[in-house]
């Protein structure tokens, strides 16, 4: 009897690992596909007239913290979009390369 219970336990374990690998338990695929329309909706206003604000960076600030401060809360676009827009506004400067005391252009998005 113990062998049969152990066999069923192994079968359930193997099935759950198989299911996690092939299908997954986190619904990331459905969230990714539902977030694409938001990206498409956000793109036309940004292309039509990108707005920005010049800010002098102080020690410890990052591109994301400055943009969040400009929006008084969470950013209404994906982080990748913020990074791309920051680089375009600042002639290809990467967000990791900002320096304290210098002034940069940070994107401002409609909410």
Q: Encoding tokens for residue 72?
A: 């008084």
The answer to whether the pTM exceeds 0.75 is no
User: Cβ-count burial of 66 within 10 angstroms (0-12 exposed, 13-18 middle, 19+ buried)?
Assistant: buried
pLDDT in tens, 36-92: 444 444 444 444 455 889 999 999 999 999 999 988 888 889 999 999 999 999 999
Domain boundaries, the chain: 1-42, 50-111
pLDDT of residue 94: 92
Class of domain 50-111 (CATH, top level): alpha beta
Identify whether the C-beta of residue 9 lies closer than 8 Å to the C-beta of residue 1. Answer: no
Q: Encoding tokens for residue 28?
A: 């990331």
CB atoms closer than 10 angstroms to residue 69: 12
pLDDT of residue 14: 94
In whole angstroms, give the CA distance from residue 61 to residue 79.
16
Q: Which one has a higher pLDDT value, 49 or 106?
A: 106
């Amino acid at each position: 009897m113990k062998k049969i219970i152990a066999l069923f336990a192994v079968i359930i374990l193997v099935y759950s690992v198989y299911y996690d690998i092939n299908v997954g338990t986190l619904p990331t695929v459905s969230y990714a596909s539902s977030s694409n329309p938001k990206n498409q909706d956000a793109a036309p206003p940004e292309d039509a007239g990108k707005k920005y604000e010049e800010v002098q960076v102080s020690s410890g600030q990052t591109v994301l913290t400055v943009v969040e401060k400009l929006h008084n809360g969470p950013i209404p676009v994906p982080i990748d979009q913020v990074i791309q827009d920051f680089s375009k506004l600042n002639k290809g400067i990467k967000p990791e390369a900002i320096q304290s005391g210098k002034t940069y252009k940070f994107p401002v998005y409609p909410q």
